Chain A
């Protein structure tokens, strides 16, 4: 079976129009994503994440190397049959309503008639925009725009979804909705290739992660393997008495082979606290 994404030794050099030094935005990057995987590409601004994605979508031509989607060359229009793309901070046609936007993109993918209408309804329901279906996008909030963007990316039921900073500028509630949608895609076996600055979110949703820096892939692998600290072990106890903790500390000290680095109450994240206090209260 062909990989969902197969980027091989991708190099992209931008040459300024009127002389000046060429910029090597992507330098021999190789990424393979198997069908059904959620892959996160992380890196600082200007590290080459978006250029890699654009090369995969045929929006920029590689200086050398190849990009393939389910075996089809990215420069061929056919390769986009199986892809949905949500760019960073998307602005769709403001003159269209949510439903019209999905109809427009659906028609571009060859959908027609009743199948298109039912797909539009299904997607508006999926991204929780049913109540705003006839409102023009000019009146949508940033989070709503991201969600309608995700819906348009899914309109032709693609097998691969590419998300460029899907939660940029979105509040934590909107951000969690998008995260939940990514989980839903994963559950349906759709391959997701995302790049984000929000490392915690990447950590939550991705199976594999690549770290790109100055155009080069510097680390890549299964998230669990990358994050595990080889020489440490974590114990989480519930309702442990001070006596029991004292006993454990003593045992560790007596064993001579280990060292207790930290003990105390585990903390939640600020995001989780915010969500608990806002969303849960709303419910």
Chain B
């Protein structure tokens, strides 16, 4: 049997993760859920505009609810991923809590993973709560829209088949597994950004620095595929190498843009979801490994 002090001890990582989760919960970070609640409810009170045909009646409201909720989920999860991760590590070092933890038989890799998993658990729980609220609002609102479409269809003499077709199309814009897939992609994107912030915080001296650089990486990540195309296309072997290095050093976040397609009602295939999961795993392992390389040599 291996030594219990070897790195990657799941129990020890879980202890650190639960502590990080509790710490963030008791720092009252869940208060932002209140803001989400208010905005999501407000989006539900948008008036149904008048339309000439039942198939377009109320569709815009469903788009607005999804757009607002997924947009807020993205924003909250990314801010949490960057700021909370950037805050916790320097705070532990500054308060010397880190000394007492590392003075116990705790490998540094386990400490890093515990912190990271605690933050991702918090993001996951937050997203689940927000998702639950969004699904509830969308369900109510979709039923209202379908009802008003049916009234309008009846008044305009639509056949039963035509009405069934309209209802099917409208319900596809409501709560669906497709939408749950988009929430999963939002979560995976925040996991990547949390691991970027972890890497930054292993060598940064302040939370502010980590937050600023973290948001810059996020910004660049959204556009880096275009930048690679612009700078390296047609530049031969060297260009391809430069392009590969750029997409490793900075995460390519364009792959996560499938979220927008889902909001527009496009199907998120299992293959695309798996591809996003694989890219997320790649970046998570890469940045955590790089964090460990720096952190294992760090002196306090």
Give Cα A104–Cα B11 distance, bound, in whole angstroms. Answer: 12
Say how far B21's CB is from chain A's closest CB, in angstroms: 11
Name the residue on B nearest A76 (C-beta).
Answer: B5
Give Cα A85–Cα B27 distance, bound, in whole angstroms. Answer: 27
**9-residue interface stretch from A51-59, A166-174, A214-222, A243-251:** A51-59
Give Cα A99–Cα B27 distance, bound, in whole angstroms. Answer: 19
Q: A89 an interface residue at 8 Å Cβ cutoff?
A: yes
Q: B47 an interface residue at 8 Å Cβ cutoff?
A: no
Contact, CB under 8 Å: A93 / B96: no
Contact, CB under 8 Å: A104 / B97: no
- B16 surroundings in chain A (CB, below 8 A): 108
Contacts of B100-124 to chain A: CB distance below 8 A: 100-107
Quick one: which of B22, B101, B102 contacts A58, CB cutoff 8 A? Answer: B102
Contact, CB under 8 Å: A85 / B299: no
Contact, CB under 8 Å: A87 / B23: no
Contact, CB under 8 Å: A93 / B23: yes
Give Cα A108–Cα B5 distance, bound, in whole angstroms. Answer: 10
Q: B242 an interface residue at 8 Å Cβ cutoff?
A: no
Quick one: which of A90, A104, A110 contacts B19, CB cutoff 8 A? Answer: A104
Q: How many residues of A are in contact with the other chain, CB < 8 A?
A: 34
Q: A209 an interface residue at 8 Å Cβ cutoff?
A: no
Contact, CB under 8 Å: B102 / A59: yes
In the complex where A77-B5, A95-B23, A105-B104 touch, is A87 in contact with B299 (Cβ < 8 A)?
no
Give Cα A162–Cα B102 distance, bound, in whole angstroms. Answer: 14
Contacts of B1-59 to chain A: CB distance below 8 A: 3-5, 11-12, 15-16, 19, 22-23, 26-27
Q: B161 an interface residue at 8 Å Cβ cutoff?
A: no
Contact, CB under 8 Å: A77 / B97: no
Q: A149 an interface residue at 8 Å Cβ cutoff?
A: yes
Contact, CB under 8 Å: A108 / B106: yes
Q: How many residues of B are in contact with the other chain, CB < 8 A?
A: 27
Contact, CB under 8 Å: B97 / A83: no
Give Cα A10–Cα B97 distance, bound, in whole angstroms. Answer: 25
Name the residue on B nearest A149 (C-beta).
Answer: B100
Contact, CB under 8 Å: A156 / B104: yes
- B105 surroundings in chain A (CB, below 8 A): 77-78, 80-81, 108-110
Say how far B91's CB is from chain A's closest CB, in angstroms: 9
Q: A192 an interface residue at 8 Å Cβ cutoff?
A: no
Quick one: which of A78, A80, A93, A104 contacts B103, CB cutoff 8 A? Answer: A80
- B97 surroundings in chain A (CB, below 8 A): 90-93
Name the residue on B nearest A90 (C-beta).
Answer: B96
Say how far A112's CB is from chain B's closest CB, in angstroms: 8
Q: Of A61, A81, A87, A92, which is in contact with the most chain B CB atoms at under 10 Å from its CB?
A: A87
Contact, CB under 8 Å: B5 / A91: no
Give Cα A93–Cα B102 distance, bound, in whole angstroms. Answer: 14
Name the residue on B nearest A54 (C-beta).
Answer: B300
- B4 surroundings in chain A (CB, below 8 A): 110
Contact, CB under 8 Å: B100 / A92: yes
Q: B231 an interface residue at 8 Å Cβ cutoff?
A: no
Name the residue on A nearest B15 (C-beta).
Answer: A107
Q: B99 an interface residue at 8 Å Cβ cutoff?
A: yes
1/0 per residue, CB under 8 A from B, across A97-117: the answer is 000000011011110000000
Contact, CB under 8 Å: A89 / B96: yes
Say how far A65's CB is from chain B's closest CB, in angstroms: 15
Give Cα A235–Cα B277 distance, bound, in whole angstroms. Answer: 83
Contact, CB under 8 Å: A108 / B103: no
Contact, CB under 8 Å: A59 / B99: yes
Give Cα A89–Cα B97 distance, bound, in whole angstroms. Answer: 10
Contacts of B52-107 to chain A: CB distance below 8 A: 95-97, 99-107
Give Cα A238–Cα B22 distance, bound, in whole angstroms. Answer: 62
Say how far A195's CB is from chain B's closest CB, in angstroms: 14
Give Cα A190–Cα B40 distance, bound, in whole angstroms. Answer: 60
Q: A152 an interface residue at 8 Å Cβ cutoff?
A: yes
Give Cα A221–Cα B40 distance, bound, in whole angstroms. Answer: 72
1/0 per residue, CB under 8 A from B, across A59-97: the answer is 111000000000000000110110111111111110110
- B106 surroundings in chain A (CB, below 8 A): 77, 80, 108
In the complex where A61-B299, A93-B97, A95-B26 touch, is A83 in contact with B19 (Cβ < 8 A)?
no
Contact, CB under 8 Å: B12 / A108: yes
Say how far B105's CB is from chain A's closest CB, in angstroms: 5
Say how far B119's CB is from chain A's closest CB, in angstroms: 15
Name the residue on A nearest B14 (C-beta).
Answer: A107
Query: What are 12 A-B residue pairs whose CB atoms fall within 8 Å in the complex?
Result: A57-B99, A58-B102, A59-B103, A61-B299, A81-B5, A87-B96, A88-B96, A93-B97, A108-B105, A108-B106, A109-B104, A110-B12
Which residues of B are interface residues toward A (Cβ below 8 A)?
Answer: 3-5, 11-12, 15-16, 19, 22-23, 26-27, 95-97, 99-107, 297, 299-300
Question: Given contacts A60-B299, A80-B106, A108-B16, could you give 9 more A-B pairs where the C-beta distance is less than 8 Å?
Answer: A54-B99, A54-B299, A57-B103, A60-B300, A61-B299, A80-B103, A81-B105, A92-B97, A107-B12
Nearest 4 CB-CB pairings of A with B: A85-B103, A91-B95, A95-B26, A60-B299
